[in-house]
Amino acid sequence: MTHRESRRQTFYLYLFISPWLIGFLVFALYPILSSLYYSFTDYDIIHPPKYVGLANYNEMFHNDLFWKSVVVTLRYTFISVPIQLMLALGFALLLNTKIPFRGFFRTAMYFPSMVSGVAMSLLWYWIFNPSIGLFNYVLSWFGISGPSWLMSPDYALYALMIMSFWTVGSGMILFLAGLQGVPASLVEAAKLDGAGRFRIFLNVTLPMISPVLLFQLIMGVIDSFQVFTQAYVMTQGGPNYSTWFYVYNLYTSAFKEYRAGYSSALAWVLLIVVMAFTALIIKLSNRYVHYEGGGRK
């Protein structure tokens, strides 16, 4: 290939990827870099930004609502994410067996994950209604008087956690794919050695699907740090700020108080925290995640 032909192919390469490249620069990279600049300014969207240095970050770490949002978000993450993983894995193990109507149950489990966040929030808003809601109605069958759920500072956050379990079908599908990739020869060898079902799961199945588990854990943590729709539609931050999630706090600062500079600082702290949690999870996973080649990353 001559130098001229190489240059022409390079030209056509950039020509064909230019729509994506322009879109990335204009709609992704520029807003990201702009938000970094705005995080050091006092900017209300209407007036020109005024540079204030680290004032936004200093105010953030001395703001009670900021720390409240951090506590609520971490509490939601550390309780809901592990339960979601266990439920998704449990359903995947069940639906990986030969049971009647297995295809129907797989579809039924995954279907709630296709419902939009707003529609799902409105549905569960009715389910948690203390007077006519389905949840308290079912509890009444057992003689239990259900709480006010979304109207109670003690139960509002737990209600949103319960709602999050409705979408474990998406995680179940990934676990199901991982389970079907476990070599049958390893399972048969374990059976010949006299291993029971629990030992096979612990020593064969779980190590083989550990990369899927790691991926699900990372994505679950990232998603939990970005909870917003449920808090906005169902509780508006909750009674006594019980569902004042981090992203809801960011939204309130940006679109209700018109403090774009302060909200940009919140966004960058969120990015750093998510990256730190992700790096920590990957670092701790080195001893426990097994890959197909037998090595560890």
The model's pLDDT over 184-202, given as tens digits with 9 standing for 90+, comes to 888 888 888 888 888 988 8
Sequence spans of domains, the chain: 64-287
pLDDT of residue 197: 85
Q: What's the Cα-to-Cα distance from 43 to each of 56, 260, 268, 281, rounded to whole Å?
A: 11, 5, 16, 35
Strands (E), 30-91: 41-42, 50-51
pLDDT of residue 187: 86
The model's pLDDT over 120-154, given as tens digits with 9 standing for 90+, comes to 999 999 999 988 899 999 999 998 888 999 999 99
d(CA 113, CA 192): 40
Tokens 């970094």 belong to residue: 36
pLDDT of residue 144: 87
List of the chain residues with pLDDT < 50: none
Query: What are phi and psi for residue 106, nearest 5 degrees?
Result: -65, -45
d(CA 221, CA 77): 6
Per-residue H/E/C for 147-165: CCHHHCCCCHHHHHHHHHH
Entry pTM: 0.89
Dihedral of CA atoms 34, 116, 119, 268 in degrees, nearest 10, equals -20
Class of domain 64-287: mainly alpha
> 59-98: string of b/e by CB count within 10 Å (b at 16+)?
ebeeeeebebbbebbeebbeebbeebbeebbebbbebbee
d(CA 254, CA 147): 33
